[in-house]
């Protein structure tokens, strides 16, 4: 199984500042035949289901604000919130869909400092 490890477990960032969440996979999720990273990011606010933010490591979903961006390749990935807004308080998860079983990181809780 591919183990996904996020860091940090939580972080507090001032409004308007940058938040950076890291995700590391225990093996590469880059599929060589199509050069795509099978990595997604989700946001989950309290009492709500998760919402997909980014697929293929860096492709922002329709309607997701452009302050959210994804980067990385192979085994190391980053979700960046360029200017934190109050509505971004949530838990963020990475997920690999390179192989079964599909696996998630443990989550990173983002709060306002």
The DSSP symbol for 88 reads G
Spatial separation of the C-alpha atoms in residues 15 and 12, rounded to whole Å: 10
Q: Specify whether the CB–CB gap between 28 and 74 falls below 8 A.
A: yes
Report, in Å, the least distance between residue 112 CB and other proteins: 21
Report, in Å, the least distance between residue 75 CB and other proteins: 18
Report, in Å, the least distance between residue 15 CB and other proteins: 26
CA distances from 79 to 33, 47, 52 (A): 25, 22, 12
Nearer to other proteins, 9 or 17 (CB): 9
Q: Site residues (CB under 8 A) for other proteins?
A: 38, 40, 42, 44, 49-52, 55, 61, 93, 95, 97, 100-107
């Amino acid at each position: 199984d591919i183990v996904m490890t996020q860091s940090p477990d939580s972080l507090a960032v001032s409004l308007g500042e940058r938040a950076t969440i890291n995700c590391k996979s225990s093996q590469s999720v880059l599929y060589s035949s199509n050069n795509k990273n099978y990595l997604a990011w989700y946001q989950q606010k309290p009492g709500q289901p998760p919402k997909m933010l980014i697929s293929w490591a860096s492709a922002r979903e329709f309607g997701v604000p452009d302050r959210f961006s994804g980067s990385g390749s192979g085994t190391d990935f980053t979700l960046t919130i360029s200017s934190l807004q109050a509505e971004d308080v949530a838990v963020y998860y990475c997920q690999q869909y390179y192989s079964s079983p599909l696996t998630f990181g443990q989550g990173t809780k983002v709060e306002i400092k």
